[in-house]
Amino acid sequence: MVAPVLSAVRTAELIGPTSGDGPAYQVVADSLRLLIADGRIAVGTRLPSERDLTSALALSRTTVSSAYAVLRDRGYLTSRRGSGSVASLPAGAMRRDTGLHMSAQVPAGTIDLTCAAQRAPVGMTQAAEAAIAASPGYLSGSGYLLNGVPELREAIAARYTERGLPTSADEVIVTTGAVVGTAIAARALLSPGDAVVMETPTYPNIFPTLTQLRSRIAAVPVEPTGWDVATMASTIRASGARAAILLPDFHNPTGNLMSDQQRAVIAKALARERITAIVDETVVEISLDHEGPMPLPFGAHHADTISIGSASKSHWGGLRIGWIRASGSMLERLTAARVPFDIGAPVIDQLVLLQLMQVAAGITDDRRHDLVSSRDALAGALRERLPHLRFVLPSGGLSLWIELPDPIAAEVTLAAEDEGLLIASGPRFAAAGGLDRWIRLPYVLPPDELVEAVARLERALGRVASGTAMGRRGRAEHPHGPLVA
């Protein structure tokens, strides 16, 4: 694990006021413990020295020393000779139950909120019929188009150009989805044991590839309100990484949108260290009520960027079509890295997507209206029935990132299942452990179903609070692991 460094000033800001109930050392220890458990201080982060934190908090050295001692005793801090004090989790607490798993058949009446993806759009049948009608021109060949259907590549390139990143069709490779695209990029760039800068929380389905590559993760927390670019730049400098995997556009799961100014700062840090950015833009087209123009694609700020896109969020997950946008010699490396995965995406699916993109490159106005209605219904129900839960209403994306009052995400997830509600807990999205106070709630279902989902969540939280769900502690979240998408 790469050890990013957290400054004393930033640590003091995260801890906040130290005048709470009980001794000051206990307040500091409890604050740091929760920050580490939540993932806001990533596991492996080097905390400031006792002397520096003493100065930043304006407390006594004894107070800070005692707080650090409590954290070490409880397993949240590890002291290493020459490395200072490093954030950790107690044995058994770092449960990375992540990755792509298909759930068993969902029982009748169960509300499934493990998947942040929409139903097929109106016009899908007509698009499929038009694709079949357009297919004879491809039937005389083998059907193996390694880089994709030329017309679709041109449409994707045109969309990048429209967004502010001039792109030719030759710079686009069509893949079987964004997960495969990201895995191809990772294998093209990384050797076993290489370091990777990653946000936490992040989209979890890249974890299996990084595990296979034995990648060392330099995790950078994404706050509910966005990125701390100073901490990210510091982590980038210290990481020795070959690549950085970023989700700047309506980040999944937080919904945050990185500004052009933030992109420029991060791009400068990456360029200085010669780090390639792998940028997941899967949700970029899901702008709901963002005011003003969208930021430029990250690749417009950092030339050494591999952009990953997909039709799964903007159109339909049943079209297993994604793409990679890259330039120069990187294209050859990506093509070579692709072969172990597949030798081309399905032609008919590509033609269906082409038909849909001719209607709208992203979501249509009617689908945007439906998503806004669902988002607002979910947010309204949470505010009415569970006002103690905290979240930031996103201007785009497909989900709310919900903060629980205590680190009970696993218990709540299990209790919710008993109430007929499937949800994904925060640890599934953690790049380096933690996030036990968080759950993700997509707003992709109709408003009435989401209101009912909140009622079931309320009952689940009540059971956890009363202790009637505690007998399930320690069991896996779901016997088969629900799909997290």
pLDDT digit string, tens, across residues 284-343:
999 999 988 999 999 999 999 999 999 999 999 999 999 999 998 899 999 999 988 888
- CATH number attached to the domain at 8-87: 1.10.10.10
Q: pLDDT value at position 52? A: 94
Looking at the chain, the number of H-run helices and the number of E-run strands are 17, 15
CATH code 3.40.640.10 region(s) in the chain: 135-359
Q: How far is CA 160 from CA 249, 299, 389, in A?
A: 14, 10, 38
Mean of pLDDT values over 160-169: 98
- CA torsion through residues 238, 242, 245, 246, sign: positive
CATH code 3.90.1150.10 region(s) in the chain: 111-118+364-472
Q: pLDDT value at position 21? A: 65
Q: Which helix (H) or strand (E) holds 412?
A: helix 409-418
Neighbour-count burial for 129-158, b at 16+ CB within 10 Å, e otherwise: ebbeebeeeeeeeeeebebbbebbbbbbbe
What does the pLDDT look like over 243-277, one tens digit per residue? Answer: 999 999 999 999 999 999 999 999 999 999 999 99
CB 269 within 8 A of CB 227: no
Of the pLDDT bands very low, low, confident and very high (cuts 50, 70, 90), residue 20 is: low
Please report, rounded to a whole number, the percentage of residues in the chain having pLDDT higher than 90: 71
Mean of pLDDT values over 41-68: 92
What does the pLDDT look like over 180-194, one tens digit per residue? Answer: 999 999 999 999 999
What does the pLDDT look like over 192-223, one tens digit per residue? Answer: 999 999 999 999 989 889 988 999 999 999 99
Q: What is the pTM of this model?
A: 0.81
Instruction: Look up the CATH architecture of domain 135-359.
Output: 3-Layer(aba) Sandwich (3.40)
Q: How far is CA 436 from CA 105, 147, 376, 482, in A?
A: 27, 41, 25, 18
Q: pLDDT value at position 2? A: 55
Q: pLDDT value at position 238? A: 93
CATH code 1.10.10.10 region(s) in the chain: 8-87
Q: 396: which DSSP letter?
A: B
What is the three-class DSSP state of 323? Answer: strand
Looking at 1.20.1090.10, 1.20.120.790, 3.30.930.10, 3.90.1150.10, the CATH number of the domain 111-118+364-472 comes to 3.90.1150.10
Q: pLDDT value at position 82? A: 67
Mean of pLDDT values over 408-434: 89
Task: Name residues whose C-beta falls within 8 Å of residue 454's C-beta, 6 or more positions apart in sequence.
Answer: 378, 381, 382, 385, 386
CB 366 within 8 A of CB 359: no
Mean of pLDDT values over 12-37: 84
- CA torsion through residues 315, 288, 221, 90, sign: negative
Average pLDDT, the chain: 89
